[in-house]
Structure 1
Amino acid sequence: MAGLRVAILYKHRQSGRWILPQVEELRRRGHQVMVVLPPGTGPLPAELLRRGFEVVESPFDFRFRPNLATLRGLWRLRRLLRDLRLDILKYHLYASALAARFTSVGLRLGRVHVVVGPLFLESRLIRTVERWLWRADDVIICGTDYTSRQYGALGAPPERRPSTTPGIDTDHFSRERFVAEQGPTAAELRAKIRAELGIAENAFVVVMVAYVYAPKRLTYHGRGIKGHDILLPAWQAFQARHPRAHLLLIGGGFSATGETHRRELVRRFGTDADPSITWIESVTEVRPYYNASDLSVSPSLSEGHGAPVEAGAMSLPSIVSDAGGLPEVVDEASGWVVPAGRAGPLEAALGAAYREFDAGVLTRRGDAARERMVKFFDHRPAAEMIADIVERTANGVRSR
């Protein structure tokens, strides 16, 4: 099936590169793909335009405020979607899903909802509403098995909630590829970045890659979802007994409120005055920091598959919480799973990883993590599966 007109509705301009393999696969199959984004510049529209995709400005800003401007924006978005004469409307993130569902009522097209993160389903209010609204979607592509089970609990039958990860480029996130691109050996690159950061060459380095999100009003009241407030006390207790350990935090605040929350964490835990912690707010290339580290940690309260997939592809074992889809990323050979929201078990897992590091066997888990990511989390088969679902959905709409 070739020649479908597919629009992807997405609420962000600054993030979302993970949709690129999907749009590339749809174009490779002969479909016309356009991406509808809020107006303005950003990394995502810039990359889409560089690759030759059509970027369409959304007349709706994806903010659902109780005023006439919201109604006008939704009505204009509906007219836009009608005028694009679509076969498939594919939407990502919950605000985009709400806008897509409301504005496509009565239009003869297929509706494909792609869910990467499950946070919105962990709000009791949204879960209650979603029990009915999911029926507007022809199919919900669930980025984790966990999300598919959540929709199953809301009444969605299995055929309406297939599970497939968006995946990552496991060629790009490869220690061997990174070293080949840079020139020196892996050990030399590792020593170089550690020297630049002021970290001892023989230190046990733990990395957490995550933006800092402000606490959400409808979920996990008063706590950031990425678990920085869980990791930091666990780290301080662990590092007091293991002074050769160093924590590398990569990621600033996501939005102004996120940065405010990050500064509160800095003050609360005194990270600026702690020589065992280095906090880098923003990077364009994360692979050097994975290469310089021994272990990845993701203590989230809510998550899809998250950073451990990139870390694993870079041959790092991970400690993850049992939140969302994180337990799907690691197995007994490649990492540890700990209860979400508790510092004690996280501290104990750090101790277990350190003992393996000290014995010189932690890298075995890293090798197992790399194998697992290549086998289950590569973006190429994932993009093919998503394109298959899009085409099946279009066939179903045509046969109605």
Structure 2
Amino acid sequence: MAGLRVSVLLKTNSGGLWTIPQIEELRRRDHHVTVVIPPGPGRLRTELETRGIPVVDAPFDFRFRPTVSTLRGLWQLRRLIRQLRPDVLNYHLYASALAARLAALRLPLRRVHVVCGPLYLESWLIRPIERLMRRMDDVTICCTQHISELYGQLGCPAERRPVVQFGIDVNYFTPPHLTSGGMETPDSRKGAREKARAEIGVDPASFIVVMVGYVYPPKRLAHSGRGIKGHDTLLAAWSSFHAKHPRSHLVLVGEGFTAAGKAYRQELIDRFDVGQDPSITWLGWQPDLRPYLTAADVGVVPSLSEGSNGVVREALAMGVPSIVSDAGGLPEAVDASVGWIFPRGDVGALISALDTAYRDFESGQLTARSGRAREHAVRTFDRTQTAAVMADIIERAGGVRSGSR
């Protein structure tokens, strides 16, 4: 039996790296996968081309403006889809979903929508539109139970909104003192942490809190006036927490996403006097997060809106207990044995969680949480397992019975 023809559509040539394990698994099963992304260089394009995965430039710019060029771009995208003749059209990110649904209207193919985050479902304007348009998807794969429930509220039947959490490379995200296969000891963990802290330039004896995340500008239609990653919540909490616990240091890793995100990042730096605060280090984008996670005592993800969030999974795999907000799928990644959950946007609750983590740090109990965090990640977030489940669903959508190949 010939393999399926699968076309994967994304609105980005830089993000969307979570698609690669899924694509590789489909190719391993002898399916023919082509990825359609915007023209130009980017991390995603580089990774795809390095792996020999066919890439085609999207003729549509994924900007939905009431102009003739939008209609022309959608028509050109439709022509491209017809040329590719996919059995399954698989799209990620909401702008990609809108474009795929409109461009492939009435074409003889199956449509699989992968939902990575719930932000658009939290918009009063978009929700009623999505209630109608989601009917064009044959399957809506949700990366968290939270997203699946939101689609259930829009009338999507349970069998058409399966949950598949995005996985991570648990071998890559391994604490350095475990990479040689040796057993963890207090001395080996301490040595790795001190080395990482020396490289970053932070006090080896301090309580180190790390947040990793792009800075997104505030959205008009959801959480108006605030960036969705919750940087302002953490920075507001930090001044009070650090005043009580001066032997602490906050490391932020992340650049502004787009020019508007860069401007909002600078606004936060100015508003909270980050440049004048020696207890805060704010770095830009980093190609390798492992040194920062190795240096951390605890990670923080204070998002106002969130999908599955790969960073919290990577932190747990690195043995970093995490404090997360109750936004989206974050509570599905962290339980009481490996971290703490606080109400999104609640500065006082975040301070309380930081206080609790600090007490565990002083008493030595944080080390036990670290070991449990690593075990939890390996058991739950291994990307080879989640990619296989994703491939099973795409095969079923395309008419291939799982296990028949």
Quote the Cα distance in structure 2 between the aligned partners of 1:185 and 1:2: 51
Quote the Cα distance in structure 2 between the aligned partners of 1:246 and 1:394: 51
What is the CA-CA distance between 1:392 and the residue it aligns to?
0.5
Query: Which residue number corresponds to residue 388 of structure 1?
Result: 392
1:20-31 alignment runs, 5 A limit: 20-31=20-31
Question: CA separation of 1:345/1:300 partners in 2, compared to 1, >3 Å: closer, same or farther?
Answer: same
Structure 1 counterpart of 2:305, one-letter code: S
Q: Number of residues paired by the alignment?
A: 395
Cα deviation 1:361-400 (Å, max 9, x = unaligned): 1021121121211122111111111111011101189xxx
Query: Which residue number corresponds to residue 354 of structure 1?
Result: 358
Q: 3-state SS of the aligned residue for 2:211?
A: strand
Q: 3-state SS of the aligned residue for 1:382?
A: helix
What is the CA-CA distance between 1:199 and the residue it aligns to?
1.2
2:239 paired residue among 236, 240, 255: 236
Question: CA separation of 1:167/1:348 partners in 2, compared to 1, >3 Å: closer, same or farther?
Answer: same
Query: Which residue number corresponds to residue 203 of structure 1?
Result: 206
1:193 paired residue among 168, 187, 196: 196
Quote the Cα distance in structure 2 between the aligned partners of 1:172 and 1:2: 34
- Please say which of residues 18-27 and 304-313 is displaced more in the overlay: 304-313
Question: CA separation of 1:11/1:290 partners in 2, compared to 1, >3 Å: closer, same or farther?
Answer: same
Q: 3-state SS of the aligned residue for 1:395?
A: coil
Quote the Cα distance in structure 2 between the aligned partners of 1:177 and 1:120: 41
Q: 3-state SS of the aligned residue for 2:121?
A: helix
Quote the Cα distance in structure 2 between the aligned partners of 1:159 and 1:2: 27
Q: 3-state SS of the aligned residue for 1:129?
A: helix
Query: Which residue number corresponds to residue 114 of structure 2?
Result: 114
Q: 3-state SS of the aligned residue for 2:399?
A: helix
Quote the Cα distance in structure 2 between the aligned partners of 1:114 and 1:194: 38
Quote the Cα distance in structure 2 between the aligned partners of 1:145 and 1:4: 28
% identical equivalent positions? 55
1:180-329 alignment runs, 5 A limit: 180=180, 186-306=189-309, 307-329=311-333
Query: Which residue number corresponds to residue 11 of structure 1?
Result: 11
Structure 2 counterpart of 1:190, one-letter code: R
Q: Is the Cα contact below 8 Å between 1:186 and 1:291 reproduced in 2?
A: no
Question: CA separation of 1:396/1:4 partners in 2, compared to 1, >3 Å: closer, same or farther?
Answer: closer
Structure 2 counterpart of 1:269, one-letter code: F
Normalising to structure 1: TM-score of the pair?
Answer: 0.96
Quote the Cα distance in structure 2 between the aligned partners of 1:10 and 1:344: 39
Quote the Cα distance in structure 1 between the aligned partners of 2:178 and 2:34: 32
Cα deviation 1:135-175 (Å, max 9, x = unaligned): 00000000000000000000001110000112111111111
Quote the Cα distance in structure 1 between the aligned partners of 2:84 and 2:30: 17
Quote the Cα distance in structure 2 between the aligned partners of 1:390 and 1:233: 44
Structure 2 counterpart of 1:247, one-letter code: L
Q: Is the Cα contact below 8 Å between 1:206 and 1:246 reproduced in 2?
A: yes
What is the CA-CA distance between 1:92 and the residue it aligns to?
0.2
RMSD over aligned Cα, in angstroms?
1.6
Cα deviation 1:165-200 (Å, max 9, x = unaligned): 12111111111477549xx95544422332233311
Q: 3-state SS of the aligned residue for 2:152?
A: helix
Q: Is the Cα contact below 8 Å between 1:172 and 1:178 reproduced in 2?
A: no
1:121-132 alignment runs, 5 A limit: 121-132=121-132
Query: Which residue number corresponds to residue 379 of structure 2?
Result: 375
Quote the Cα distance in structure 2 between the aligned partners of 1:164 and 1:374: 16
Structure 1 counterpart of 2:159, one-letter code: E
Normalising to structure 2: TM-score of the pair?
Answer: 0.95
Unaligned 5+ segments in structure 2 are 182-186
Q: 3-state SS of the aligned residue for 2:202?
A: coil
